[in-house]
Chain A
Amino acid sequence: MDKEIKKLATHARTGINSASVLADLEKIYLEIFGKSGTFTNLTKQLSSIPKSKKPKIGQLLNEAKKEIEKTFEQRHNFLKKKRPKEFIDITAPGKKLKLGHLHLISQAIDEIVAIFSKLGFSLESYPEVDWDWYAFESLNMPKNHPARDDWETFFIKSAPKPHFGSQVLTPHTSNGQVREMEKLKKPPIRMLNIARCYRRQIDVSHTPMFHQFEGLFIDEYITIANLKGTLNYFTAKFFGPKRQMRLRPHYFRFTEPSFEVDVTCGVCQGSGCRFCKSGWVELGGAGMVHPKVLEAGNINPHKYTGFAFGWGIERTIAIKTGIGDIRLLYQNDIRFLEQF
């Protein structure tokens, strides 16, 4: 037996040291220590030898195993370390995978949704070609009302429908208000509507298509203080805690009281400059939902109150990033898009 062990050990060493690639080495290892490997077979014979010889043979086997494994490890390390070492210039450019770009509008939408969803608002979607009823009349703006002049509205060539009126391109996201009330039937309502809106105007600060986001919050005992709290939360998160927010009286037919929401100018930080109005820039409108709008949505205005706000996303981007001409957002120049 001793001879056999020695012979095996020598044979194994030669085999291992002759392996020139790792795969061969692994193969040789299995031939020795595998299920029916040469060494394994030898160990199996251990049971058939006399008891008195067992300790000695066992010890010999152990030593041989250790020795073979050591040889194996050395050879393994030798073969593994064959990869040549090169000089690496860590300042050379890496090999990147290509990433695309999200439009600034989408990035703003993402941020806005993230902020309001923490307050339990959920993002909803409504038609962008909608009935006059939802865009105006249910919002306390009867036909021929001068307040409609503020919304330079596009109309669609189509026959008007009784009660609902003509089809219009929604000039604001407020068409979602009564639609949301009809959908949920009963408060609490915490709706966020982000959509493309359309008005017949184009200049540095207007494009015929733009994006608005609209918040609607209706429940029992909702106060102006709640509106302030919500908008303060948003402006602090979106523009940063240094910017302040204020409400000014304003006039919208579908809210009473109505407000214009301002934040302190990011350029002058509120001291007044040529980019702002005495230190403030207008974000958009807000107000307490008019009882007539609640009634139009079949919600009892004696039981529920609420607030709403509707702001242009382009405007918030302009305020935040300093893009002066919002038409840039829709020219789709790849050199512009790839900046963001």
Chain B
Amino acid sequence: MNIRVPVSWLRDYLKANIAAKTIANLLSLSGPSIERVEKRGDDYIFDVEVTSNRSDAFSVFGIAREANAILTNENIKSELISPKGLNLPLEPDRTNPLTLDVKITDHRLCPRFTAIIVDNVKIKPSPAIICKRLESVGIRAINNIVDISNYIMLELGQPMHTFDFDKIKNHKMTLRPSREGEKIKTLDGKVQKLPKGAIVIEDEGRLIDLCGIMGGENSQITRRTKKVVLFVQAYDPQTIRKTCQALAFRTEAATRFEKGIDLEGIVPALSRAVYLTKQVSNAKIASELIDITAVKSVEKTISLSLNKLKNYLGVEISVEKTTKILGLLGFAVKTTPQVISAVVPSWRILDVKDDVDLIEEIARVYGYHHLPSNLPEGQIPQGGESDLAGVIELKKALKYLSLTEVISYSIIAKELFELSKTKEKEAVELANPLTSEWQFMRPTVLVSLAQVIAENQNIEKDIKVFEVAKTYIKNEGDLPKQDLMLAIAWQNADFYQIKGLVENVFEILLRIPKFQKFTGENHLFEKEEVAQIKVGESLVGTCGILNDQIIDYFNLEGQVAACEINLSIIYQLPTFQLSYKPVPKYSAVIEDISAIFNQKTLLAEIIAQVKKAGSPLVKKVDVIDIFKDEKIGKDKKSVTLRLTYQRSDRTPTQEEVIIVREKIIDAFSKSFQAIIRR
């Protein structure tokens, strides 16, 4: 959270003759960060980022305390001055003090409760300096009493509240958890319907305070107020947080209560409030101090070995310097030659718990910028490069194969999810989606790629894109299956183009793919234009033409060829080893052979026949051409194969080649009823 700190206000407590900009720079390096320095009139305003653990620094005085420690450590003369009135004795100024009857039903809700009544109050505008300071941090000045409560919160970080004493029925207060559905009209005029368990105060039949968040309108200070209850507490941070979450409503006070309050700072804050009330409205103390403490704060001492400190910092800091730094931060320090013992100040008790926390305090004030910078040494871990290094290489290769990489959201809309026809029991669904646009973890990347093509098809033709991403399939009782997929979509390409690309991909992956008839359930591809891809016995992917349902859903022009390949499985499988084969010494005889086959005769079978019949002379069979034509006949195709006849001891003779060729032709006509084209 950020707070705004006027530098002129800061200088009330920080006596250091040094420029605002220097203070800002040094604070940023060693304490809360000054994100911006804003010039406002003749003053500067610091915009300070305070981390949630540093409840002690959510105030002007807290920042002054930090700055004093940091400046002093940088050898800049500096002194910390406490606000006036912190130790003001809280004794009634009159003989027959007023009373307020306080009952707390559950002390866990309120670790410390203090209040005091002042009377003789005259409501008027605050002095100019208070108005100016409040306004410079964005709080509207209201009147001298209400302004004091805001002023104290900004100054000391302790939120406080003020009631009109005369408006509290029977001068009775019961602090209790709220019941579900109870209502209170808060100071902003809004009616809050409360969840169960918010902390509230009831006088007699009425809620008068939504504790820690905002006071009730019915007991607020008005122009006619004469007697004021000054009210300073600590509340259970978790309860305040839960209430704010339930109400979706948070105030500056609540934010501070959520982070935790310095229990020892409560009475000084009340004293300071009384002091200021006396100053600005001539008020008199009209009651005894009410101080109900449920938790006795215990002193906490932390020991830190100097050796450990050195091992963390990579440099040795003298005991004197260490002691001085901790002392400036409010720690009471004792040292032996090996160990520092530090008593944690009450305002740091929630934050500083272990010796590593002490190390942080010493190191940051000493200055991270003063520490050396060294690359670590030591052994490099065992275990080789993971598969992911291969993914980067694969992506680069695809780029050089003219594909463009996209990265789309892994969370998809319900409609897209349904398009994938994934079974409900396999769905990985978000319990708290941001919008319906992002509701399911996608079971396939292909729907997203189809969408990318749809969104770009008016800009460019024949889009060819890929994405590498995980997909998610529910796995009852365990984490979802999250395999890394390579998906490719290619507009206006046919099956053989995508198959060729997949073959290229496998050459890059150093695995040998087999394309088989698709046997599983398939909701993305055309039934007759899809193949499953195997490496060895493992199913590793699918490729084919996206079906009409997807084309229609996205209004895609033309057909889209696509594939999805499971890299997680592939990387588990062995790569093929490239081995040396001698380059043939004698030239080969190469000839083409054309024949007409039935259209459905598979090329794999034709080639297998050639190899069988032609062995061992035929070393290589390439498919040169396939074409279909009415002239050849219906359901027929002409296939031209290029055969390589080769021997290792000499060039094959014409006679040898003829014999083998005849065997092949014979096999063709016997097995496939094929007709040779001469």
Contacting pair A113 B35 (CB below 8 A): no
Contacting pair A190 B432 (CB below 8 A): no
Contacting pair B52 A190 (CB below 8 A): no
Contacting pair A103 B406 (CB below 8 A): yes
Which residues of chain B are near A338, meaning CB under 8 Å? Answer: 404
- Interface 1/0 per residue, A224-236 and B, CB below 8 Å: 1110111011000
- Cα A157 to Cα B28 in complex, Å, equals 42
Choose, from B390-398, B513-521, B642-650, the stretch at the interface.
Answer: B390-398
Contacting pair A229 B374 (CB below 8 A): yes
Residues of chain B from 409 to 441 with CB closer than 8 A to chain A in the complex: 409-411, 428-434, 438, 441
Asked if A334 is at the interface of the complex by the 8 Å CB criterion, the answer is: yes
Choose, from B274-282, B364-372, B541-549, the stretch at the interface.
Answer: B364-372
Question: Would you give the shortest CB distance from A211 to chain B, in whole angstroms?
Answer: 8
Asked if B359 is at the interface of the complex by the 8 Å CB criterion, the answer is: yes
Which residues of chain B are near A194, meaning CB under 8 Å? Answer: 388
Interface residues on A, range: 35 or more
Asked if A329 is at the interface of the complex by the 8 Å CB criterion, the answer is: yes
- Cβ-closest chain B residue relative to A125: B388
Choose, from A34-42, A83-91, A242-250, the stretch at the interface.
Answer: A242-250
Choose, from B100-108, B137-145, B457-465, the stretch at the interface.
Answer: B457-465
Question: Would you give the shortest CB distance from B345 to chain A, in whole angstroms?
Answer: 18
- Cβ-closest chain B residue relative to A334: B456
- Cβ-closest chain B residue relative to A335: B459
Which residues of chain B are near A103, meaning CB under 8 Å? Answer: 405-407
Asked if B399 is at the interface of the complex by the 8 Å CB criterion, the answer is: yes
- Interface 1/0 per residue, A205-227 and B, CB below 8 Å: 00011000000010111111110
Which residues of chain A are near B35, meaning CB under 8 Å? Answer: 277-278
Known A-B contacts A110-B392, A128-B470; A154 and B433 likewise in contact (beta carbons under 8 Å): yes
Which residues of chain B are near A78, meaning CB under 8 Å? Answer: none
Question: Would you give the shortest CB distance from B508 to chain A, in whole angstroms?
Answer: 14
Question: Would you give the shortest CB distance from A172 to chain B, in whole angstroms?
Answer: 16
Which residues of chain B are near A277, meaning CB under 8 Å? Answer: 33, 35-36
Which residues of chain B are near A128, meaning CB under 8 Å? Answer: 410, 470, 482
Contacting pair A156 B405 (CB below 8 A): no
Choose, from B204-212, B375-383, B524-532, B591-599, the stretch at the interface.
Answer: B375-383
Question: Would you give the shortest CB distance from B620 to chain A, in whole angstroms?
Answer: 25
Set B33, B405, B433: member contacting A248, Cβ < 8 A: B33
- Cα A251 to Cα B312 in complex, Å, equals 17
Which residues of chain A are near B401, meaning CB under 8 Å? Answer: 100
Choose, from B177-185, B189-197, B472-480, B606-614, the stretch at the interface.
Answer: B472-480
- Cα A290 to Cα B356 in complex, Å, equals 8
- Interface 1/0 per residue, A121-163 and B, CB below 8 Å: 0111101111100000000000010110010001111110100
Asked if B249 is at the interface of the complex by the 8 Å CB criterion, the answer is: no
- Cα A146 to Cα B371 in complex, Å, equals 32
Which residues of chain B are near A131, meaning CB under 8 Å? Answer: 479
Which residues of chain A are near B51, meaning CB under 8 Å? Answer: 249-251
Contacting pair B385 A224 (CB below 8 A): no
Which residues of chain B are near A178, meaning CB under 8 Å? Answer: none
Which residues of chain A are near B33, meaning CB under 8 Å? Answer: 248, 260, 277
Which residues of chain B are near A98, meaning CB under 8 Å? Answer: 402
- Interface 1/0 per residue, A317-340 and B, CB below 8 Å: 000000000000110111101100
Asked if A76 is at the interface of the complex by the 8 Å CB criterion, the answer is: no
Question: Would you give the shortest CB distance from B347 to chain A, in whole angstroms?
Answer: 16
Which residues of chain B are near A250, meaning CB under 8 Å? Answer: 51
Question: Would you give the shortest CB distance from A103 to chain B, in whole angstroms?
Answer: 4
Question: Would you give the shortest CB distance from A127 to chain B, in whole angstroms?
Answer: 5
Contacting pair A223 B380 (CB below 8 A): no
Set B356, B364, B403, B452: member contacting A291, Cβ < 8 A: B356
Asked if A49 is at the interface of the complex by the 8 Å CB criterion, the answer is: no
Question: Would you give the shortest CB distance from A152 to chain B, in whole angstroms?
Answer: 9
Question: Would you give the shortest CB distance from B72 to chain A, in whole angstroms?
Answer: 17
- Cβ-closest chain A residue relative to B403: A100
Asked if B22 is at the interface of the complex by the 8 Å CB criterion, the answer is: no
Contacting pair B386 A123 (CB below 8 A): yes
Question: Chain A interface mostly helix, strand, loop or mixed?
Answer: mixed
Asked if A264 is at the interface of the complex by the 8 Å CB criterion, the answer is: no
Contacting pair A337 B479 (CB below 8 A): no
Contacting pair B404 A229 (CB below 8 A): no
Interface residues on B, range: 35 or more
Contacting pair A196 B368 (CB below 8 A): no
Question: Would you give the shortest CB distance from B48 to chain A, in whole angstroms?
Answer: 12
Asked if A115 is at the interface of the complex by the 8 Å CB criterion, the answer is: no
- Cα A198 to Cα B36 in complex, Å, equals 29
Contacting pair B356 A249 (CB below 8 A): no
Contacting pair B407 A223 (CB below 8 A): no
Residues of chain B from 342 to 368 with CB closer than 8 A to chain A in the complex: 354, 356-357, 359-360, 363-364, 368
Contacting pair A200 B432 (CB below 8 A): yes
Which residues of chain B are near A23, meaning CB under 8 Å? Answer: none
Asked if B30 is at the interface of the complex by the 8 Å CB criterion, the answer is: yes
- Cβ-closest chain A residue relative to B365: A249
Known A-B contacts A158-B474, A228-B371, A332-B452; A97 and B429 likewise in contact (beta carbons under 8 Å): no
- Cβ-closest chain B residue relative to A105: B407
Asked if B577 is at the interface of the complex by the 8 Å CB criterion, the answer is: no
Question: Would you give the shortest CB distance from B399 to chain A, in whole angstroms?
Answer: 4
- Cβ-closest chain A residue relative to B408: A332
Contacting pair B375 A226 (CB below 8 A): yes
Set B52, B395, B472: member contacting A146, Cβ < 8 A: B52
Set B53, B380, B386, B430: member contacting A190, Cβ < 8 A: B380
Contacting pair B480 A256 (CB below 8 A): no
- Cα A159 to Cα B470 in complex, Å, equals 22
Contacting pair B373 A225 (CB below 8 A): yes
- Cβ-closest chain B residue relative to A302: B308
Which residues of chain A are near B384, meaning CB under 8 Å? Answer: 122
Which residues of chain B are near A219, meaning CB under 8 Å? Answer: 376, 378-379
Contacting pair B482 A129 (CB below 8 A): yes
- Cα A14 to Cα B600 in complex, Å, equals 57
- Cα A27 to Cα B297 in complex, Å, equals 109
Contacting pair B411 A208 (CB below 8 A): yes
- Cβ-closest chain A residue relative to B351: A251
Which residues of chain A are near B31, meaning CB under 8 Å? Answer: 249
Question: Would you give the shortest CB distance from B22 to chain A, in whole angstroms?
Answer: 12
Known A-B contacts A110-B392, A335-B459; A100 and B399 likewise in contact (beta carbons under 8 Å): yes
Asked if A184 is at the interface of the complex by the 8 Å CB criterion, the answer is: yes
- Cα A79 to Cα B452 in complex, Å, equals 55
Set B28, B356, B383: member contacting A257, Cβ < 8 A: B356
Question: Would you give the shortest CB distance from A239 to chain B, in whole angstroms?
Answer: 16
Asked if A202 is at the interface of the complex by the 8 Å CB criterion, the answer is: yes
Asked if A177 is at the interface of the complex by the 8 Å CB criterion, the answer is: no
Asked if A283 is at the interface of the complex by the 8 Å CB criterion, the answer is: no
Question: Would you give the shortest CB distance from B666 to chain A, in whole angstroms?
Answer: 34
Known A-B contacts A129-B480, A256-B357; A120 and B363 likewise in contact (beta carbons under 8 Å): no
Asked if B389 is at the interface of the complex by the 8 Å CB criterion, the answer is: yes
- Cα A248 to Cα B34 in complex, Å, equals 11
Contacting pair A101 B399 (CB below 8 A): yes
- Cα A184 to Cα B438 in complex, Å, equals 35
Contacting pair B430 A156 (CB below 8 A): yes
Which residues of chain B are near A147, meaning CB under 8 Å? Answer: 52
Set B313, B411, B456: member contacting A209, Cβ < 8 A: B411
Asked if A288 is at the interface of the complex by the 8 Å CB criterion, the answer is: yes
Question: Would you give the shortest CB distance from B363 to chain A, in whole angstroms?
Answer: 6
Asked if B37 is at the interface of the complex by the 8 Å CB criterion, the answer is: yes
Q: A225-B373, A249-B368 are in contact. List 11 more A-B contacts (CB 8 A).
A: A97-B402, A100-B398, A146-B237, A146-B259, A228-B368, A249-B30, A249-B51, A249-B360, A256-B354, A305-B311, A332-B452
A-B contact pairs, 28 of them (CB 8 A): A99-B400, A99-B402, A100-B398, A102-B405, A109-B392, A110-B392, A122-B381, A122-B385, A123-B389, A129-B482, A154-B430, A154-B433, A156-B441, A188-B378, A188-B381, A198-B411, A208-B438, A219-B378, A224-B313, A226-B374, A226-B375, A230-B375, A248-B28, A278-B35, A332-B406, A333-B459, A334-B456, A338-B404
- Which 9 A-B pairs have CB atoms at the shortest separation, nearest pair first? A225-B314, A223-B314, A251-B51, A257-B360, A120-B380, A228-B373, A226-B376, A155-B431, A98-B402
